[in-house]
Amino acid sequence: MLEIYCANCAGQDKLLWDGRLQWVRDNRSLIEAIANDPIGTQGEWQDFDDPFCFVAACRELVAAWSDPHFVSCLPVFFDGTANGYQHLSALVRDRETAVKVNLIGNKRSDVYGLVANALQLILQDATGEHADSWREKYAALKPSERRSLLKQPTMTFPYGVEEQGMNLQVWKECNDVFPDEKAPKGFFGFIAGKIEEAIKKELPGAHVCREYLRNLSARVLDQGRFLQTISSTSFPVISSYLEQEQISVYAHDGGRMRIKGRETSVVARRGNPVRSAEFYSQLGREPFNPRCACGQGGRH
């Protein structure tokens, strides 16, 4: 683990794990030199992605190489790939999604690129007022621009983004790529809907799981209750949250001044999928065992 983290800090985090381990083997003499004299070797490491983290990893790694009983206390950081989908795939034992978001397997996958390709196929057969315009525009985009267009909607889908939020995300990205273009009404709503179709096509298990959580939340709210879950460490989590409600307070100062105040109350928004951000955040903080959430046949 220390070797992989060391390679990550040196900017090798796009390699497969075997590639990162090989990079460490190939650069062992450099790692040892930096660990023994960080100041004297500054020119070797100062331009790495995370230079000071790299130096700390070098020192820790050399100590571990020197002592088979060494216990490391170095914090090691690893960035997940589309964490929301990783949690969903673990919850329902969806191997297809798990592979696509790098939760299992040793072959690197780009889920945003996969959704971008699915969106291209969907647009080929799309009909409607804005279908031709989007086919032309999407065909003109570079692969990196296509990926950027749908990254935010795809990434936030497991966390409960809804149509309005997707529209805004797509508008912001298009405004960066085409700053001088004005779009007709419904233009971004059209592509936002197609992006969700692409997510459903490419990640069907995750899409079903999110809709299950959404429907479960609505059913519980119909009974006048909030959804409550129990974590793998028996910690209860209730899906309620505070929403600000604005009220007007008038202060007399010659009749010229008005002050707006705020109060809070516990509310639930119907249809919102269990406030998924809080739900997944809790899973991320707790030692998560999918067997605690899934039965033999999958989702319960």
Which pLDDT score, from 0 to 100, does residue 251 have?
56
Kindly indicate the confidence band of residue 257, based on its pLDDT and cuts at 50, 70 and 90: very low
- Is the pLDDT confidence value at 291 over 70? no
Segment 45-69 shows an average pLDDT of 93
- Is the pLDDT confidence value at 284 over 60? no
Segment 104-109 shows an average pLDDT of 83
Which pLDDT score, from 0 to 100, does residue 106 have?
77
Segment 22-32 shows an average pLDDT of 95
Segment 172-176 shows an average pLDDT of 87
- Is the pLDDT confidence value at 36 over 90? yes
Q: How far is residue 235 from each of residues 214, 220, 230, 266, 276, measured CA to CA in Å?
A: 22, 20, 6, 21, 17
- Is the pLDDT confidence value at 278 over 60? no
Between 274 and 282, name the one with better pLDDT.
282
Which pLDDT score, from 0 to 100, does residue 263 have?
46
Which pLDDT score, from 0 to 100, does residue 25 have?
95
Going along the chain from its start, the domains and CATH numbers come out as 2-66 (1.10.287.280), 80-228+270-300 (1.10.150)
Cα–Cα dist 81/56, whole Å? 25
- Is the pLDDT confidence value at 66 over 50? yes
Which pLDDT score, from 0 to 100, does residue 254 have?
52
Which structure tokens are listed for 157? 């889908």
Burial (0-12, 13-18, 19+ Cβ within 10 Å), 278: middle
Among 3-17, 49-63, 70-84, 233-247, top mean pLDDT goes to 49-63
Single out the residue of 189, 178, 181 nearest to residue 131, CA to CA: 189
Outline where DSSP puts E strands in the chain: 228-230, 236-238, 241-250, 258-267, 294-295, 298-299
Which structure tokens are listed for 231? 């974590």
> What's the pTM value of the predicted model, to 2 decimals?
0.67
Which structure tokens are listed for 180? 């001088």
Kindly indicate the confidence band of residue 268, based on its pLDDT and cuts at 50, 70 and 90: very low
**CB within 8 A of 38, min separation 6: which ones?**
45, 55, 58, 59
- Is the pLDDT confidence value at 13 over 70? yes
Cα–Cα dist 109/188, whole Å? 28
Which pLDDT score, from 0 to 100, does residue 26 have?
96
Which pLDDT score, from 0 to 100, does residue 181 have?
80
* C-beta atoms surrounding 76 within 10 Å: 15
Segment 171-178 shows an average pLDDT of 86
Cα–Cα dist 67/61, whole Å? 10
Which pLDDT score, from 0 to 100, does residue 159 have?
86
